[in-house]
Chains A and B, each alone.
Chain A
Amino acid sequence: MHVEVRGLTKKFGEFPAVNDVHFSIAKGQLIGLLGPSGGGKTSILRMLAGLETPDSGDIVFHGTRVNDLPPQEREIGFVFQNYALFKHMTVQGNIAFGLEVKKWPKNRIKERVAELIELTGLSGFEKRYPHQLSGGQRQRVAFARALAPEPQLLLLDEPFAAIDAKIRQELRAWLREMIDRLGITSIFVTHDQDEAIEVADEIMIINKGNLEQKGSPWDIYKNPETPFVAGFIGESTIVEDVSTLRGFEQAADWPGTKALIRPEYVEIGQANEFRLLSATETGRVRHLHFRGSEWLVEVDVGASRLVTYRSLEKEVLHPGEEIQVLVHRAYLFNDNDSWIMENRLKEDPMPVHI
């Protein structure tokens, strides 16, 4: 189902939960609503479902405005954060509920339930009650129950939040595959960027009720449009005065501009490890943290402290050691603007500065 949202606004008392949000979603896409807790993601989802009434704005499904339709008539499936399974009904009963309510004939209900139990790998658990299932199984029952009445749009509120890390990985992959196979338009809410990046076709970053950016995970990582997005996606350190870093002297032309530098923008090593030595400058190793598969290195460069990763295969560094630092790029922002600046010396084939 094609979903379009225009000027969606919702206040809880004086608190603006959702603030003039616009977006549209093509049929069959899997969208992740990503942002910090309390940022309005769940409110958007609940308004799409009809569980919450917007103060203003339009919600359009398939070209029809559905603001005035109750949840019962929006042809949606909703998976709740804590699943909200009917605890006095068996797995079968839960999945059949929506079909019984819609007065499907008995034999078709039976077929459909069997089909979904097969699809979600719950065979053998049909007669169990929710409290007899594991977290992952409950999640799949919630998913099967939401899908049973053949909804046009699937909404998932923090679908993996209550599941332990290992099973979460499996379920993510499973959900992605399932949604691909069914081709149903889906929107899920999460505060976990790894989850959004891994599962979603497109991510919408929501912060303080505003839609900060919408795009593919790669796009958002590469071209963050706002400082919030730049800081939220990936890891980063803020450098107050970037013009002191070699290759970024130009930044002094924009007073009051700060820089955000990701670990992967920074390369460190001994002088012999660099091809373009002129673009590097000297720094001092401050701390080393072992991160299981690599070193996290904190380096002091002038007054700034940068963070980067270093392969375990390379020569081991020691705190206090002098090393060369190459900053490939920085994300610059001030109150009105933000842009990406590449290290100028790196691009210049005949550097004048020595």
Chain B
Amino acid sequence: MRRLWIGLTCVVFALLLGAPVVRIAIGAWSEGWEGFRHGLTRPEALHALGMTALIVVVVTVVNTAFGVLFSLYLVRAAWLRERMKRLLNSIVDLPFAVSPVIGGLMIVLLLGPETALGAMLERGGIQIAYALPGMILATLFVTFPLVIREVMPVLQEIGSQQEEAASTLGAYGWTTFWRVTWPSIRWSVVYGVVLTVARALGEFGAVLVVSGNIMFKTQTATTLVYQDVENFNLASANAVALVLAAGSVGLLLLMEWAKSRREG
């Protein structure tokens, strides 16, 4: 009986997780090395991967900085009322609860060219929807809770006493943060950053809605894979997908390492 369960678990694991990766790898090499190389070095693939990289970098930097700040305020700020903190705390989880597609749609509805705000910005030469800023906004929305959800519990756990001790010893906010708070939360921040990068790399729904998926303009790696599949260009689709998958596996390994450091 036990063997059966173990066997079943292995089969489910292999079918759900193992098979797709193997299938992608085989698919990527179905036309040999040349096919793989071509799939990646097509101008549209290079552009899409570049877009993805740009979005990942901007989103990670912004969400890390503001995620840490937001966590600090939510946990420490004495000027925020307890009830307000609880409200904000639950709003943080909104992107988890709402489908990313709806997140993207909200941006289009708020800042699309047909809206007052969007039209005004467009007259000023700034395009949000169907352009890079909108895609960054959409990815920011989707990844917003990740850093906060990692950092907040740690801040709560370490308490404010070490920081108060630093203040009675003459240290002001900035020094206290870098010398006392940061060493305690840095591995959680790293963990949150890894999650953010992984999520931003793989984001599809929100970006698809906001970007319009215009080749050479607003196409990212994931939406390119989508388009390749639609066009039956499977070898190329698999090549890009394999690069994304490899990136994710690398991140997962990094995540495990960060987790062990955090617990150590």
A residues sitting closer than 8 Å to B (CB atoms) are 49-51, 70-74, 76-78, 80, 82, 84-88, 97-98, 101-102, 145-146, 148-149
Contact = CB atoms under 8 A, between A and B. Distances in A.
Contacts of B159: 84
B168 A77 contact: yes
A51 B184 CA distance: 22
A284 B131 CA distance: 96
A97 B169 contact: yes
Which 8 residue pairs across A and B have the least CB separation, nearest first? Answer: A98-B169, A84-B161, A78-B168, A88-B183, A84-B165, A101-B171, A71-B167, A101-B170
B164 A80 contact: yes
Among A49, A97, A146, the one with the most B-chain Cβ atoms within 10 Å of its Cβ is A97
B180 A72 contact: no
A82 B179 contact: no
Contacts of B92: none
Interface in B69-112: none
Contacts of A88: 183-184
A84 B167 contact: no
Nearest to B180: A86
Given A86-B180, A88-B183, A101-B175, A149 B170 contact: yes
A298 B1 CA distance: 69
Interface of B: 159, 161-162, 164-172, 175, 179-180, 183-184
A86 B179 CA distance: 9
Given A84-B162, A148-B169, 13 more contacts: A72-B172, A73-B170, A77-B168, A84-B161, A84-B164, A84-B165, A88-B184, A97-B169, A98-B170, A101-B175, A145-B165, A146-B169, A149-B170
Contact of B167 (A70, A77, A87): A70
A145 B165 CA distance: 9
B170 A78 contact: no
Given A88-B183, A88-B184, A97-B179, A102 B170 contact: yes
Most chain B CB inside 10 Å of its own CB: which residue of A70, A86, A102: A86
A182 to B, nearest CB: 17
A176 B159 CA distance: 30
Contact of B165 (A73, A74, A78, A102): A78
Contacts of A74: 168
A62 B114 CA distance: 67
B169 A51 contact: no
Nearest to A80: B161
B79 to A, nearest CB: 11
A173 B162 CA distance: 27
Nearest to B176: A101
Contacts of B161: 80, 82, 84
Contacts of A84: 159, 161-162, 164-165
B151 to A, nearest CB: 16
B167 A72 contact: yes
B168 A51 contact: yes
A49 B167 CA distance: 10
Contacts of A87: 162, 184
B177 to A, nearest CB: 13
Given A82-B161, A84-B161, A101-B175, A49 B168 contact: yes
A74 B167 CA distance: 10
Contact of A78 (B164, B172, B183, B184): B164
Contacts of B183: 88
Contacts of B168: 49-51, 71-72, 74, 76-78, 146
A118 to B, nearest CB: 20
Contact of B169 (A50, A70, A101): A101
B169 A145 contact: yes
A221 to B, nearest CB: 33
Contacts of A97: 166, 169, 171, 179
B209 to A, nearest CB: 44
Nearest to B163: A84
